[in-house]
Amino acid sequence: MVATTVELRNVAGTEAALGWAGGHTIVVDRPEGRAGGQGLGFNGAQLLALAIGGCFCNDLRYTAHAAGVGLGRIAVSVTVELGGEPLLATAATMTVACETSDGSDPEILVAHARQTCMVSNSLARGIPVTIRSAG
């Protein structure tokens, strides 16, 4: 089994959090004026949408590379719908446009990436999330 771990800590002087994995960082915050948020970074819904779209972009590249097809422009848009109390993600819609360097039909690559995309497939199947207090 493969696992990955990220770390998050508060950012001094703010109510935002800094997250990192290896040498990559991201700021997480609420919108300005919401529960102490200052709009310094992405909120949870935006991070979820970025995870869905970002993972798909990577898998599209993996798929194209394995097929020996170069990719030109890639445009991905992800909308996450929220509702209920507590607020939950109720649906996500991703729109993908891309061009191949050889003029071949990119839908073949998109269809394969759809089948292999870890984030969207994990969400569609549902995964258990365990939250433990460190004490």
Find the length of the chain. 135
Position 102, amino acid = D
Which pair of tokens denotes residue 90?
Answer: 């109720």
Each residue of 76-110: pLDDT tens digit? 999 999 999 999 999 999 999 999 999 999 999 99
Give the H/E segment covering residue 7. strand 7-10
pTM of this structure: 0.93
In the structure encoding, which two tokens stand for residue 65, read together? Answer: 């590379």
pLDDT band at 135 (very low <50, low <70, confident <90, very high): confident
